[in-house]
Structure 1
Amino acid sequence: MTTDKRKRGAKKAGKAPAAQKSVRKPAAKAAARMPDAASEAASAPVRMRPTAGRRNPADAAQLGLELITSAPAVAAVMVAPGSPEAEHAQRIKTAVDELQAGNLEAAGAILEPMLAARAEDFETLHAGAVLRLRLGRFSEALELMQKAVTKNPGDAQAQQNLGAMLARQGRLEEAATYFTRAIAIDPRNVSAQTNLGLIYQSRGQIEAATACYKKAIAVDPGMAEGHSRLAAALKDVGDLPGAIASARRALELRPNYPEALGNLIHYLQHVCDWRDLPALEAKLDQLTGPALMRGTKSGETPLLSIVRSADPVRNLRVARAASKDLLASMASLNMHFPHDRRRGPRKKLTIGYLSGDFRNHPVAHLVRGLFQRHDRSRFRVIGYSYGPDDGSVYRSHIAASCDLFVDLRSTGTAAGARRIYEDGVDILIEITGYVAGHRLDIPALRPAPLQVSWLGFPGSTGAGFFDYAIVDQTVLPQSQATSFSERLIWMPHSYQINDSGQAISAKTFRRADFHLPENGFVFCCFNNTYKIEPKMFDLWMRLLKAVPGSVLWLLRSNAQAEENLKREAVARGVAPERLLFDGKLPKDQHLARLALADLALDTLIYNGHTTSSDALWAGVPVVGFSGTHFANRVSASLLTNLGLQELIAHNLERYEALVLELVRDPARLRGIRRTLAERRMRWPLFDTDRFVRNLEAALIGIWNLHEANKPPSPIVVADRDPMESAPFAPIPPAS
């Protein structure tokens, strides 16, 4: 789209956005804004409390800025009894009392006539602003609060409330100014301290955020929200023991605090401390069950749901509640993008890919070869990134492979959505989902006529603003289509793309380099520690006891997980030294070291995804577990598309037996490794060209339905190539 067309589009959709950093060839630099805050109207009578959660420090929308706003305090003033001033002061006090009690109708009956009669009175403006905010009349509330602060800039509470309202619009820098002013006026204003901490956390300034939360807690040690938010900040910097302690303190102060409880469970999963999980999860179910029945947000995030439950119906209910809450938080923006006027024939479809993972991240490892392979005679490709620029070869390769690469990291919700709309995106493909740091607030505003969820989150978004989700017949059989809110695009092979150009280091590793036994059997699992749970760990320990001299090789994620897993091994009669841990390496070296393992093991509720692909690409057979929801059918999808269904187990008994069969039949295992080596460059799983051609066919198909004014409908994509085609030529990695 040309610059002139962009300007015309801006006039149609609203004010032109602040400039974003875009990368064409060469890259252009421009200024940017901080992201918008995703927040909701207060349900409590006095204030909106900040939620706790595992957040990306670079993302304020995902951070959950449900900022604290308060009804104004009423100062005692010397007035003559019976005077108009005294009557006015009494009415204000009564109105504020009604606000604090949640009686909005009664407060409105007092305040609305006063707003009309004394619109320049500070107390009336302030109380009226809070009233209209509670009523959902955000624009009016903001205007009144701005007038109130102008009238009395020395009122800390008004400064803090205005900051909270600006933050809800994504105007975080302005909001931080007002929070800072409120603190300067009243250092004991815990609402301003907490909200300023949220702003710092959204910028990745975790040390400053932590200082704010600690100051708020020092003033009000009983502030459960402060402890919960401190826990989230500590988690962001990898201080899991500190995060766990702060989350526990929040629950001591407020035992029925769903967000803190959900976060504590996830923190404990990360460190593999399972001792309290049964009781904590039972309590979470007790607290969140009624909310899910009502379809309202609970303390269980969509990610936590798929990590701890393989029930696709429950997963969908949690996701629906989260998306409903997200949409409610977007209501104050009141944005609508007209798409009908853009219908009609076109030479190319513009495809936008939205992600926070265009960096050295497993998602980027998978999609690195996607963008350059799109047929430029039919498609224009734009990458929208809201994650950090880590300077990696993945980032630079993806940016160079797009026709346009836009950095939305410091861009608010409204401006980000407007940018996508003005770029003329026909189909927006979101590849992060409900994982850490997501920006589903942007697609929630519907900047593209068709929106697709894919790859990053192994489940339904539950969001009506996504028309389609990309799946396959293994991860989501047609019989389970109702467990997704989206219409489904069934790919002919795996839903997961892989990069056929992924390099494996030529460096020769020996087992001794990683303290692995030269002759013992080496099981490996490099999945994230939060995916490891007691049932599968029980099975793994039985395997070690059944195979003398064997070891289990795991990813070193955090010291606490290593300590806890060794303790759990001892409790199951396994010497702790048979669990070996290693940290991360550059990807090509990691793939080279993986080849030292004899067999890769899978996890139960949430399979290995990229980690399973990595093992297969490195030539290591994976014994996959196939369960009841998307997240634990991924390894089965990968193995199916290498013709290795013999390595798929559908229950734990068969899983254990299959592993032992392979260990005790070295010739069979060697044969599987040979088959894997032969098929790696021939079968669909690692054929990036074939995947892209099939994806393009799907995108054209859903666009044709849209152009025919037909509603989104399920699509079954026919394969564009015959099975076992000639070996495909990988595109080499970027230098």
Structure 2
Amino acid sequence: MNANVPPEVPLDTELQQALAAHQAGQYAEAEALYLAILQAQPYHAIANHNLGLLAGQLGQPAAGLPYLHKALSVNPDEGQFWLSYANGLLQAERPDEALEIVETAIGRGLDNAASQALRQQARDAIALAALSPTQEEAAPIVALYQSGEFAQMEDASRTLLLQYPQAPWVWSVLGTALQAQGKDAFAVLKRTVELAPHDAQAHGNLGNAWQTAGKLDEAMASYLRALEIDPDFPEAHNNLGSVLRVLDRPEEAQDSFRKAIALRPDYAKARFNLGNVLKDAKQYAQAVEEYRAASLLLPDDAEIQNSLGSALRMDKAYDEAIDCFAQAVALKPDYADAHFNLGTTMLAAQRDAEAVVALGKAVENEPDNHELHFYLGNALRNTTQPEKAMASFRQALALKEDFISAEINLCSMLQIHGALEDAIASAYRARKIGPKHPTGHTSLLFCLSHSDELDAAALFAEHRKFGEEFEPALRPHWPEHGNTRDPQRRLRVGFVSGDFNEHVVANFVVPVISKLAESAQLSLYGYYNNSRFDSATERLKQYLVHWNDIVEMSDQEAFARIREDEIDILIDLSGHTAFNRLMLFAMKPAPIQASWIGYPGSTGLQAMDYYIADRYFTPPDIVGPYMTEKLALLPACLPFLPSALSPAIEQAPALSNGYLTFGSFNRLSKLNRGVVRRWAKLLHALPTAKMLLGAMHKQSDHDTLAQWFAEDGIPLERLSFHQRTHLGNYLALHQQIDVCLDTYPYTGGTTTMHALWMGVPTLTLAGDTVASRAGACILEHVGLGSFVATDDDDFVNKGKFLSNNIVQLAALRATMRQRLEESAIGQPALIAEGFEQALRAMWQRWCDGLPAQTFEIERLAGGAPDAMK
């Protein structure tokens, strides 16, 4: 029997409703229902009993005594009524009467553990009362506690101890005063327990002190002793749960918090703590439910609002989360964590301009917080404020010089804006800061792929270092793959990317994946490593019907998910670019793994079996020696679909100008000093030629490039610069250009295809690295191999040839769209068919127990003739 919980006995309908409300913590409703029953049946024993219990739960035990007494009078044969009445008397500080009642009950035969415990509590209370101060003597200390005057409370308690040295209550309040001042209270609280060994509250207070001191085992022992004395002590259940959470025993912690809530459904702190442990377990919907319940009980608690926002954010409910963080900030304007969460959630919700404001305010509140400067830098970057963004990253590094994420983002910004040497230096710093941090390595490799200082062998050596650094520890743990070795069965194919959004990679893969999704022989899985969602994401989810968001997953968690999905072939779409999961691939979750489209180069991983491309992009004899992967060659490695915004092709401007206009729309990170020097040589060879440069971010980009050209003897009047603009304007600018000039060693891909669609060929230089062959690949596909140079002199000579054959060049302009449409590049269905054949070829070798090897899927017969040879 239990003194605090209504018994579950057969009830009529009205009482059943009252009991349900009571047990649900709906105390006002329960009270009204009990009173309604008593109005009709004043001597209803259970209604009287439960109403008395309810008064005690509401902190008014004296008010409940008449109801408990009436219940006992009506039905003295119900043992629980004796215990409840005795317990009520104890709560009302009437221990003599409580002892009399419980001894009478024992004399009537109610001799059990509960009655004996109550008798001991009553005796202890009587003994303590004789040693304790009166209410009048205690009142001043209570008043000091309520007013928060803890130093005076300490003095008053010590004074009262001189009169009542054996009074546990005085020792207890002294301990409270000491704890409130941050003073050592252990001796005092231990003395309290010695004087009142059966006082659950005393053990609970000692447990709190142990927990504050970080002595968790001792704290747990105290809470358990308190609960042994009083199993219905909600605070002890709650505090025990807090200890269990810190000890990483989440299931037991949940159980403790739920017990506290069952005893007191309006216990906001316990609901808040339960929300925390549910959030830890990634049970975000349940955590939100508990936080909301706590918030209803304490609507002005900023911490609850902040935690509710955090759970909503993790559940991807960004707008609701932002509202919660905003409320937390309104309640507590200097709440740095809420400011931080508000800004970073706005970033996740792609509300970048608002994020700049929120994070700016957070930085004002905490100017020395390196993380705030870092995230402010991210927001500034997303709102195209590069100089301010880089300043924020540098400030973050000034505050924490080993802040690798800030160094990596600074490196990215420098690289994007053409400061390649500075970016490489930053990447080396990042790798030095975190030699075991894979992102530092990948940032360096991406930068080095743009540098003309390394030949193919040296660049490959750097890529191999990545695998040599990270794979050895993982390779012994590669799993045995039990996938059914049936060459003809339906294959499970997974695609891993952080670019399933409005990104160039998505633009290339959607036409192919949409065709693959039509195959009855393939089941497609998507593993998305980014929090940004847009229309492209939604399109891809239609085709990758088995969709998984893995951005919040650790490599181990994502590995487990892929293994659970029983993926046969796993395809990387990122390589050494942002949002990659190469460390996941290094764990070898699938029997066959391949890299495609995202990065022009080797991953450096032995775990990556294939690199998917075509014979022009990765000629095996040229590129093969510099790849850890074997080559799977398709009819074309990527498709091109023109934009509906494309204007018509117009007459070549050279026909009216009398000179060639060269152009470039490649991103600034590809425009290194060597590129400008090569272009300048061509412009010197053609003194009347001019050049248009697009994709400029800011005025300083113009200035830097103009200075480089000037250093090579090309005056500003031969150059024109254009800011980055929307797609329609960008395509229309091609009407002012005769020939595009490619970058090197990182050649153009998307820009080269856009130019061809607008009738403009690109003069490119092909090398031995994958990155240096994108332009050559595209031009070979459309029969324009004569536009592919082998060295700088050949590049200049080809430009001079074009200048001497303007009419032929102008005629070629009108054929470009047909060339693209008829090439493999212009036929996504053909590429998808080749892709599926390649997957089946990989799978056949694995089923046969054979290692990966380079192979080629049969290409289109014929091809467009080379018009300029």
Answer whether TM exceeds 0.5 for this pair.
yes
Deviation at 1:698, TM superposition (A): 0.9
Q: What is the aligned counterpart of 2:670 among 525, 531, 535?
A: 531
Paired residue type of 1:243: A
In structure 2, the CA distance between the partners of 1:77 and 1:463, relative to structure 1 (3 Å rule), is: farther
Q: Answer yes or no: is the 8 Å Cα contact 1:697–1:717 preserved in 2.
A: no
> Deviation at 1:230?
1.0
What whole-Å deviation, never above 9, does each CA across 1:401-456 have from its counterpart, x for those lacking one?
x4x65776799659999998888865444434554556779989988664432112
Q: TM-score, normalised by structure 1?
A: 0.65
SS of the residue corresponding to residue 370 of structure 1 reads: helix
- Tell me the residue number matched to 2:413: 267
Output the amino acid matched with 2:744.
Answer: L
Residue in 1 aligned with 2:837? 697
Distance 1:301 1:284, change over 3 A: closer
1:579 — aligned with what?
720
**Would the aligned equivalents of 1:324 and 1:463 in 2 still touch at CA under 8 Å?**
no
Compared CA separation, residues 608 and 221, structure 1 to 2 (3 A): same
Aligned to 1:80: 187
| Equivalent-residue separation in structure 2 for 1:279 and 1:359 (angstroms) | 29
| Matched AA of 1:80 | A
| Residue in structure 2 matched with residue 621 of structure 1 by the alignment | 761
Q: Letter of the aligned partner of 2:697 in structure 1?
A: N
Asked if the contact 2:464–2:605 (Cα under 8 Å) also holds between the matched residues in 1, the reply is: no
Tell me which of 371, 380, 385 is aligned to 1:234. Answer: 380
SS in structure 2 at match of 1:507: coil
- Counterparts of 2:183 and 2:656, CA distance in 1: 78
How many residues align? The count is 612
2:313 aligned with 1:177, yes or no? no
Partner in structure 2 of residue 630 of structure 1: 770
Once the two structures are TM-superposed, the CA of residue 620 in structure 1 deviates from its matched residue by 2.5
What CA distance in whole angstroms lies between the structure 2 residues aligned with 1:324 and 1:220? 42
Deviation of 1:505 after TM superposition, in Å, equals: 4.5
Check the 8 A contact 2:206/2:219 in 1, yes or no: no
Q: Tell me how far apart the structure 1 counterparts of residues 596 and 211 of structure 2 sit (CA, whole Å).
A: 53
Q: Is contact 1:522–1:599 with CA below 8 Å preserved after alignment?
A: yes
Residue identity in the other structure for 1:719: E
- Given that 2:739 and 2:761 are in contact with CA atoms closer than 8 Å, whether structure 1 keeps it comes out as yes
Is 1:598 aligned to 2:738, yes or no? Answer: yes
Alpha-carbon distance between aligned partners in 1 of 2:361 and 2:429, rounded to the nearest angstrom: 33
Q: Secondary structure at the match of 1:298?
A: helix
Could you tell me which residue of structure 1 aligns to residue 751 of structure 2? Answer: 611
Q: CA deviation at 1:701?
A: 1.0
- Could you tell me whether the CA contact under 8 Å between 2:613 and 2:632 is conserved in 1? yes
Q: AA paired with 2:405?
A: E
Q: Is the 8 A contact 1:261 1:284 kept in 2?
A: yes
Please list the CA deviations of residues 68-107 of structure 1 after superposition, one character each: whole Å capped at 9, or x if unmatched: xxxxx9965644357588997887677x6xxxxxxxxxxx
Q: How large is the RMSD of aligned CA atoms in angstroms? A: 5.4
How far apart are residue 699 of structure 1 and its match?
0.8
Whether 1:366 aligns to 2:508 is yes
Q: Shift in Å at residue 506 of structure 1? A: 6.0
Rounded Cα–Cα distance in structure 1 between residues aligned with 2:635 and 2:534? 32
1:711–1:233 CA distance, 2 compared to 1 (3 A): farther
2:482 pairs, out of 336, 340, 350, with: 340
Classify the secondary structure of the residue corresponding to 2:744: coil
Over 3 Å counting, the alpha-carbon distance change for 1:206 and 1:125 in structure 2 is farther
Show the 5 A alignment for 1:27-426.
Answer: 76=183, 78-80=185-187, 111=216, 140=249, 165=280, 177=308, 179=310, 188=334, 190-191=336-337, 193-195=339-341, 197-272=343-418, 274=419, 278=421, 281-282=424-425, 284-289=427-432, 291-292=434-435, 297-298=439-440, 301=443, 304-306=446-448, 308-309=450-451, 311-315=459-463, 317=465, 340=482, 344=486, 348-351=490-493, 353=495, 361-367=503-509, 369-371=511-513, 373-374=515-516, 379-380=521-522, 382=524, 384=526, 402=543, 405=545, 413=553, 426=568
**Higher mean C-alpha displacement, 691-700 vs 653-662:** 653-662
Aligned-pair CA distance for 1:251 = 2.8
| SS of structure 1 residue aligned to 2:722 | strand
Cα distance change, pair 469–124 in 1 and its aligned pair in 2 (3 A)? farther
Residues 396-475 of structure 1 correspond to what in structure 2 (within 5 A)? Answer: 402=543, 405=545, 413=553, 426-433=568-575, 435-436=577-578, 450-461=592-603, 467-473=609-615, 474-475=617-618
CA distance in 2, matches of 1:212, 1:150: 39
Instruction: Give CA-to-partner distance per residue, 1:198-252, whole Å, 9 cap, x none.
Output: 3432222334543453344233211222111210121122222321221222233
Contact 2:765-2:795 at 8 Å conserved across structures: yes
Deviation at 1:609, TM superposition (A): 1.4
How far did residue 610 of structure 1 move?
1.6
Residue number among 770, 779, 789 corresponding to 1:639 in the alignment = 779
> 2:689: which partner in 1?
550
Q: How far apart are the structure 1 equivalents of 2:668 and 2:429? A: 26
Q: How many Å separate the matches in 2 of 1:579 and 1:607?
A: 21
Task: Report the CA distance between 1:305 and its aligned residue.
Answer: 3.3
What is the SS of the residue equivalent to 2:721?
A: strand
Residues 315 and 150 of structure 1, relative CA distance in 2, 3 Å threshold: farther
C-alpha distance in 2, partners of 1:656/1:74?
Answer: 81
Would the alpha carbon gap of residues 324 and 673 (structure 1) be closer, same or farther in structure 2, given more than 3 Å must change?
A: farther
- State the partner residue of 1:568: 707
Q: CA contact under 8 A between 1:193 and 1:212: conserved in structure 2? A: yes
Secondary structure of 1:553's match?
Answer: strand
- What residue number does 2:104 align with? none
CA distance in 2, matches of 1:149, 1:615: 65
Distance in structure 1 (CA, Å) of the matches to 2:541 and 2:656:
42
Q: CA deviation at 1:344?
A: 4.3
SS of residue matched to 1:489: strand
The 1:544–1:580 alpha-carbon spacing in structure 2 relative to 1, beyond 3 Å, is farther
Letter in 1 for 2:431: T
Is the Cα–Cα contact under 8 Å of residues 368 and 399 in structure 2 kept in the other structure?
A: yes
TM-superposed deviation, 1:716: 0.7
Confirm or deny that 1:724 pairs with 2:855: no
Task: Indicate the SS of the match to 2:740.
Answer: strand
Q: Which residue of structure 2 lines up, in the alignment, with residue 522 of structure 1?
A: 661
In 2, Cα distance between equivalents of 1:189 and 1:76: 26
Structure 1 contact 544–574 (Cα < 8 Å) conserved: no
Aligned equivalents of 1:454, 1:411: Cα separation in 2:
20
Tell me the amino acid that sits aligned with residue 382 of structure 2.
Answer: D
* Cα separation, 2, equivalents of 1:481 and 1:508: 38
What secondary structure does 1:301 align onto? helix
3-state SS, counterpart of residue 692 of structure 2 = strand
Which one-letter code corresponds to 2:703 in the other structure?
Answer: N
Segments of structure 1 that go 5 or more residues without pairing to the other structure are: 1-72, 97-109, 133-139, 328-335, 727-735
Q: Specify the SS of the correspondent of 2:632.
A: strand
Residues 556 and 669 of structure 1, relative CA distance in 2, 3 Å threshold: same
Q: Is the 8 A contact 1:302 1:322 kept in 2?
A: no
In 1: Cα distance, 2:181 partner to 2:819 partner: 76
- Taking only the aligned residue pairs, the percentage that are identical comes to 22
The 3-state SS of whatever aligns with 1:554 is strand
Provide closer, same or farther for how the CA distance between residues 146 and 358 of structure 1 changes in structure 2, counting only shifts above 3 A.
Answer: same
Residues 669 and 348 of structure 1, relative CA distance in 2, 3 Å threshold? same
* SS of the residue 2:440 aligns to: coil
In structure 2, the residue matched to 1:649 is 789
Structure number with higher relative contact order (C-alpha < 8 Å, ≥ 6 residues apart): 1
1:218 aligned partner, one-letter code: E
Q: Aligned pair in 2 of structure 1 residues 673, 507: CA closer, same or farther (>3 Å)?
A: closer
In 2: Cα distance, 1:667 partner to 1:337 partner: 62
Cα distance 1:599–1:279, how it changes in 2: closer, same or farther (>3 A)?
Answer: closer
Q: How does 1:683-694 map to 2 (within 5 A)?
A: 683-694=823-834
